[in-house]
Structure formats: structure tokens, C-alpha cells
Structure 1
Amino acid sequence: MRLPYRIGSTLRAAKVLFAGFGVAVLLAGCGGGSGPGPIAPGMTGSTGAVKVALLLPLTGSGNTPSVAKALKQAAELALFDFDNPSVSLVPKDTKGTPEGAQAAAQSAIQDGAELIIGPLFAQEVSAAAPVAAQRNVPILAFSTDEKVAGNGVYLLSFLAGRDVPRIVSYAAARGKHNFALLIPQSPYGRVAETAFARNVGRGGGQSVVRATFPPNDANAMLGPVRQVANAMKAGQVDALFLPAAPEDLQLLAPLLASNGVTSKGLQFLGTGQWDYPSVGKDAALVGGWFPAPDPKGWSDFVAKYAKTYGSTPPRIASLAYDAVSLAVSLSPNPPGQRYTATTLTRGSGFAGVDGLFRLLPDGTSERGLAILEVREYGPQMIEPAPNNFTSAQY
């Protein structure tokens, strides 16, 4: 299970986002292999010279605290792996509210934090950001809402639409230029379509047919599917861009197949939302291409986390590991120069559990992604992710 996207400020949205695409985890210099064993008690605290705050909704409603606990454990795991005694984590409970996040940020800064990791939700980030900005303390947040990025706030999460250029350029390089679009009537669909429109012309492509469908409504999907089928039968298109979530793919796949639209006759192109283990059970989707992180990084992280804590982490947990890894990797810089905008947005980026990524000056992020193909028993990588941003093709 990996991630796509624009999550906003609710846990439900976060679940959707991370269920579709892979979240990035910054493994700068961290090797794989087996886990370190039980985490030693007292590994967080304020003894290190470089204090890094960790703002999470450790208490709150629903299952938010369980997600926060996993994020905290992943952060501790990174601190243990990198074994740098000069860095200490300073956990602060946001209580899942803007007021709690503001108070947590104030407390963290009073404790001498040079960097804030978290919060989780967009409203929390918005509340913590002004407090941190007053003291020039940057924030590495987990939200996927781009509206909260910038002015010292950097989003580590996968962002909606940012994977689209990768799949468009890959398809164009393989002779796919005439596209049908089948777009969900949702905020994510609009973002994905906008990104597609912005990039399709670069490779000499064009959008020939556009159809939209309401999510979670199989009856209403039939008409749009027939539009695509008619265009395919008329020889007008050679690829179908389908940025749908797993639940909609499962409704669409039988309709596509019954109308003669399969990846055998029309190259299917997905987004990170296709990145879930059972995608190949729908025969119509087998052979489709989509962008995603190399699966090995996540599987290695899961094995290490499970060995340490005895459970499987939620997909978002890798973000916390990456954030702490980044913090540790930059900690040798002199005080006042560790977490500047220049160091955080270095052009070479950082290596993560989910591959290469870098933070951008506007507070968003960019990632190097692999191309996966849908197979009957799960996705298979057919083109590796770039190992540097110079060679990345978008």
C-alpha cells in the first residue's frame, strides 16, 4: 500500500492519500538490513545539543493517536539508526487542534528547538507556522495541503499531481501521443487533470477525448466509459489517462472490460493512486503503467519497523523517519546554519526510503519516481527511479 495525495486536514483524507501512493522516507546514508532490536528507553528528550521538536496529535479523538504513535516510533527508529548523540527529539502533543499545535510550537521553541517536524494536519500547520516564523525555525510538515506550504513550512508528503509529469513523459517516450482522459469529479481529479494538461504538450501529445465520472457510482460511470470506448474503436486514441483511486478502479475495471477497453488495446496510464498490491486482480488494468517509488525501500523499512515494534507501520510513518534522518544529516553544520532555507532546499536533495526527493523554495517537494506496470500478482517495476535530479526526466 503506497500513497498519492492531497490530504488536507482530516485523517480520513490522509488515509485516502497514503493508501494510494508511497510516502517518502529520507534514508540519507542509512543502510538496510535487519532492525536494531528494541528501542532503548530515554532516546528522546532534551539532552542533545541540537534539539528537534516533534509535533504530533498524541492525544485526540478517533484513531489519530495511534497514527501519531506510529509516527513517533518511526522518528525514534531513525534517531536510533543514525546514533548521533548530539541530536535529541523533543516530542510535543498538539492534541489534534490548531490551538494545541500553536501551544506545542511555542513550547518547542522555548525548549530551544532549531527545527520542527510535524504537525500532521493542515490546520495545525497553519497555527504553528507563525509562531515558528517569528523565531526563524523551519517546519517539516506531514500535511499534503499545498496551501500551508511556504514561509518556512516545507511539506515532506507526496503531493497531488506531482507524479503526473513522470507518467506523461514515460508514455510520450514510448510513442503515446493521443490521449483519452477519464477523470474523477473530485478535488484530486481536478489537480491531476491540470497537471496532465500542463505536461502533455511537452512530448508532442494531445488530449483527444475527455470524460468525467462521479466517484463511487458505477451506474454513472457507464456513459463516460462508453465515450472512451467509442474513441478507441475509432482509432482516435492510443492511451488512457485514468487518475482514479482504488475504490473507483474496482468499479471502473469491469465496465471498461465489458466495453472492450483494456490495457491490451489501449495503454492505461495511472497515478500513484494505483499503487496498491491487489491492483492486478482486475484483468482490464493488467499492463497499465503508473509512477511510484521503488517498492524495495518501503518493504525494507516495514521489516525494520516490525522487528523493532512488533507491528506493521501505517504508510505515512516513513515521513517521520525521513524527517529525522534529514535533521540528523544536517546537524553537523554550525549553529544557525543547520536548517536554513539554503541547506533544506539544496539542489541534490536527499535519499529516502521511497527514493530521491528534494524540498523546493516554495515549500513543496519533488520526488524521483520509478515506473511500475500492473501485473496479475502485483505491480512490477519496469523503469527504475532516477538516482539524481540531473538525470530525472519529467
Structure 2
Amino acid sequence: MARRGGRSAGLFGAALLCAGLSGCIGVPDAPRPRAEAVPAEVAAAPVAGAGPTIGTGSVKVALVVPLSGQGAAVGAAVRNAAELAYDDFQKPNLQILVKDDRGSPEGAREAVQAAFAEGAEVVLGPLFAANVQAAGSVARGAGKPVIAFSTDAAVAARGVYLISFLPQSEVDRIVDEATAGGRRSFAALIPESTYGNAVEAQFREAVARRGARLVAMERYAPGNPGPAVDRLRGVIAGSSAQADALFMPDTPEGLAAVAPALARAGFSPARVRPLGLALWNDPRVLSQPAFQGGWFAAPDAAGFSGFAARYQARFGTAPPRAAALGYDAVALTAALSRQYGTQRFADTTLTNPAGFSGLEGTFRFRADGLGERTLAVYEIRNNAASVVSPAPKVLGPSGI
């Protein structure tokens, strides 16, 4: 385990360095868990060590984040995390060109153009979907890859890779775990939103892939689930309930309205297991009687907790969740530049099916740009969440 200045860089470097060997494994647009909200002290904090570059190495990479305009507080935290990763990796042969995209597509386009003019070989960022699209159009023209932080799967493409946690991976993980536990008949309550549309498509596919049944699905206007719950009453409530699992991918705010509607309908979580995604990891969800005994898929919390403690000690503030993506992206480029020479950022290198080890588990990039990550499954008991299925060490054929 590499150490520098008393801080541990963890196993990330070792795992990444062996990712190419046989058998060796090494913000956001969609709603995310409450932990990603930017604390007031982060929003008020200056960008620590703000400057045009981090490091003086010969391998140049661009970090494109908002340091002004929309998302500036999160961008500052990602920039800080990049500096932390650079130091943890004992100042690798990198020169990180930090560029402000001003939270806009035009700013992202200009930032990437400037970075390429200075010799950048790869783009880390941006945060927002529209900015990723703008950066990707410039990068494709230059034949350079983008490793972006958006959670909007629609912006992924060959050469534009998403290192973020995508809800599609969470859906696959929770359906796989539920069916492995004997649940074969699913019902779903899904909000009518862009996020809900993406999740529904993945849910249908995952249920079919596991040979299970989707017995009923209802959509509802956000904040008004009552009518949809009433239509599902015969499927999810009573001794003759047809479903043995109920999938509810909503925000904590949305679930606060879903829970009392379920109670009025006579829903019993002991009979029909509630299922959710990482958004459920929030006290407002964990405290609801309707969700006790429920399962949800989310990143293993231990990795982020360790990173957050070191970030706090270094910068005096608590990091938003997206900061860990900046750390992973810099750690990835550092390790690849050490091992792969001129092929360090080639598509074949970045899409190695063995994947790479990050702060919050193993991840890999598919050829279509989508990222896949290992996730844990948590169970809600007594208003708290505990791991019932740890995150796998290795990504399987389906991404789980």
C-alpha cells in the first residue's frame, strides 16, 4: 500500500497497474443520494490552491469543471480531489490542465479546445450532460477520449466514457439480488420523469433477463402517487398479492409521498419486499415504516468515507459525492500512464473488460461509453441500512 505524507493512496494504484494482465482486477444530472448535496461550508470555501495546472509531468490531461457559474462549488471540490489524488500517487508524471467551463456548453467547448492546444491527451469532465456533449464533439474531432462525470447515460458514446454511478447499474444489481433471493414476481411504481423513463427501460430489461415476471407497473406524477398506488392495490396488498417485490425508484422527497399512500392501501413490506436504488440511502427514506425490510443497491460506503476523512483533513470541508469521481479519474490516468506508454488512453486500454479499482469499488467502461460499477445491496431495518450483499470484487458479464 503506497503511502505519502502519512496518507494512504489505497489499493487503487496497484489494482489499476495490473488491470491489463490476464485475470487481474484491478455533478450529476440525474437525482443522486442526499450525500451529494453540497454542504454550505463547501459552497463557501475558496478553491484550494487554485491555479492553471496541477503537476509538471510530461503527460498532459485536461480537467474541465465549472469553477464559476452553475456548479462552481462542486467543480472546486472535484479540482481539490484531483490534487489529492495527484499527491497520493506520489506526484506521477502528469500535468493536469485545470479548465473552467463556466457551467455552460460553450464554456466546455472553449475549455477543451484550449486544453488540446496546450497538448492535453484526454479530458476529465465535464459535470453536466450538455457540457459533456459539447466537450465530446471537440474531442472526437481531435481523436482524443473524454472521461466524464455526468450521470446521463444518453451522452455516453464511443470515446466519451462515463465514470459516474449510473442508475442503470443500480437497477441491474437490485433485480439480480432480489431474484437470487427468490423474488420472481415484480411490480413497480415509477415517477413520470426523464429519470423514471430511463430507469423503467432498464428495469424491464433486467427482469426479463432474470426470467422473472413483471406483473404490474404504474407511473405517477411526481409528488402524487396516490392514484397509482390505488390501481396497484390488488397486486401489492393483502394476502392474495400477486407481486412479491415492489420496485420504487424515486427521490427521498418523492418517497415521502409514496410511503403514506402505501400504508393507506394496506401494503405490508414483510409480504412484498420494497426495492430501490441509491437514492434510498437517506434518513427520510430509512425512517419510513413502509420501507422497513426493503433492499436498495448503492456504492459501498467505506471507500468514500475514507476519502472524505482525508479530504476534510486536507481542505477543511466535507466533499460532495462527485469529488470522488475526480479522484478516481486522476488516479486512473496516473496508473495508465505508468503502465501503457503511448497506448495509455487508447480505446482498447480504457475498455479493458477486467476494469479498474476505484475508491468505491471496481468499475469499467463499455465500448459504448457507459460505465459499469460493482455495488452493494443494503437492507433497511430499524430505520438504518446495513449491507446484506457486499459489492463484488469482480464485474461479471452483465456488469454485476
- Please give the TM-score of this superposition, normalised by the length of structure 2: 0.84
Q: 1:188 aligns with which of 184, 195, 198?
A: 195
| Counterparts in 2 of 1:272 and 1:45: CA distance versus 1, 3 Å | closer
Q: Distance in 1 between matches of 2:274 and 2:395?
A: 26
| Counterparts in 2 of 1:391 and 1:146: CA distance versus 1, 3 Å | closer
Q: Could you tell me how far 1:22 is from its partner in structure 2?
A: 7.9
| Counterparts in 2 of 1:259 and 1:54: CA distance versus 1, 3 Å | same
Other structure's SS at 1:319 match: helix
- Which residue pairs with 2:33 in the alignment? 19
Tell me if structure 2 keeps the 8 A contact 1:386–1:392.
no
| Counterparts in 2 of 1:392 and 1:99: CA distance versus 1, 3 Å | closer
Q: 1:152 aligns with which of 159, 165, 170?
A: 159
| Counterparts in 2 of 1:390 and 1:164: CA distance versus 1, 3 Å | closer
- Which residue pairs with 2:9 in the alignment? none
Which one-letter code corresponds to 1:133 in the other structure?
Answer: R
Which one-letter code corresponds to 1:195 in the other structure?
Answer: Q
Aligned length: 362
Other structure's SS at 1:379 match: strand
**Gapped runs of 5+ residues in structure 1?**
1-10, 24-38
- Which residue pairs with 1:50 in the alignment? 59
Tell me if structure 1 keeps the 8 A contact 2:374–2:392.
yes
CA offsets per residue over residues 323-342 of structure 1, 9 Å max, x none?
Answer: 00101110114543111101
Q: Distance in 2 between matches of 1:131 and 1:336?
A: 21
| Counterparts in 2 of 1:364 and 1:47: CA distance versus 1, 3 Å | same
Q: 1:107 aligns with which of 111, 114, 127?
A: 114
Q: Could you tell me how far 1:226 is from its partner in structure 2?
A: 2.4
- Which residue pairs with 1:385 in the alignment? 391
CA offsets per residue over residues 297-329 of structure 1, 9 Å max, x none?
Answer: 111111111111111111111110110010111
Tell me if structure 2 keeps the 8 A contact 1:372–1:382.
yes
Q: Distance in 1 between matches of 2:303 and 2:357?
A: 10
- Which residue pairs with 1:200 in the alignment? 207
Q: Distance in 2 between matches of 1:392 and 1:22?
A: 27
Q: Could you tell me how far 1:243 is from its partner in structure 2?
A: 1.2
Q: Distance in 1 between matches of 2:54 and 2:306?
A: 27
Structural mapping, 1:241-256, within 5 Å: 241-256=247-262
Other structure's SS at 1:162 match: helix
Tell me if structure 2 keeps the 8 A contact 1:263–1:287.
yes
Q: Could you tell me how far 1:17 is from its partner in structure 2?
A: 2.4
Q: Distance in 1 between matches of 2:373 and 2:309?
A: 23
Q: Could you tell me how far 1:370 is from its partner in structure 2?
A: 1.0
Tell me if structure 2 keeps the 8 A contact 1:374–1:380.
yes
Q: Could you tell me how far 1:242 is from its partner in structure 2?
A: 1.1
The reply to whether residue 365 of structure 1 matches residue 371 of structure 2 is yes
- Which residue pairs with 2:231 in the alignment? 227
* Residue identity (%): 42
Q: Could you tell me how far 1:58 is from its partner in structure 2?
A: 1.0
- Which residue pairs with 1:73 in the alignment? 80
- Which residue pairs with 2:41 in the alignment? none
Other structure's SS at 1:331 match: helix
Moved more, 147-156 or 352-361: 147-156
Structure 1 segments of 4+ aligned residues over 6 angstroms from their partners: 39-43
Which one-letter code corresponds to 1:121 in the other structure?
Answer: F
Other structure's SS at 1:154 match: strand
CA offsets per residue over residues 262-284 of structure 1, 9 Å max, x none?
Answer: 31121111122212244221111
**Gapped runs of 5+ residues in structure 2?**
1-26, 38-47
Which one-letter code corresponds to 1:266 in the other structure?
Answer: V
| Counterparts in 2 of 1:21 and 1:163: CA distance versus 1, 3 Å | farther
- Please give the TM-score of this superposition, normalised by the length of structure 1: 0.86
The reply to whether residue 257 of structure 1 matches residue 263 of structure 2 is yes
Tell me if structure 1 keeps the 8 A contact 2:292–2:383.
no
CA offsets per residue over residues 146-165 of structure 1, 9 Å max, x none?
Answer: 33222421111122323212
Tell me if structure 2 keeps the 8 A contact 1:55–1:94.
yes
Q: Could you tell me how far 1:85 is from its partner in structure 2?
A: 3.7
- Which residue pairs with 1:33 in the alignment? none
Which protein, 1 or 2, shows the higher relative CO under an 8 Å CA cutoff with sep ≥ 6? 1
Moved more, 364-373 or 95-104: 95-104
CA offsets per residue over residues 356-380 of structure 1, 9 Å max, x none?
Answer: 1101111111111111111234211
Tell me if structure 1 keeps the 8 A contact 2:109–2:135.
yes
| Counterparts in 2 of 1:349 and 1:240: CA distance versus 1, 3 Å | same
The alignment's C-alpha RMSD in Å is: 2.3
Q: Could you tell me how far 1:137 is from its partner in structure 2?
A: 1.7
Tell me if structure 1 keeps the 8 A contact 2:101–2:108.
yes
The reply to whether residue 123 of structure 1 matches residue 127 of structure 2 is no
Q: Distance in 1 between matches of 2:216 and 2:331?
A: 45
Q: Distance in 2 between matches of 1:264 and 1:235?
A: 12
Tell me if structure 2 keeps the 8 A contact 1:279–1:374.
no
Moved more, 384-393 or 293-302: 384-393
Other structure's SS at 2:342 match: coil
Q: Distance in 1 between matches of 2:130 and 2:89?
A: 31
Which one-letter code corresponds to 2:226 in the other structure?
Answer: L
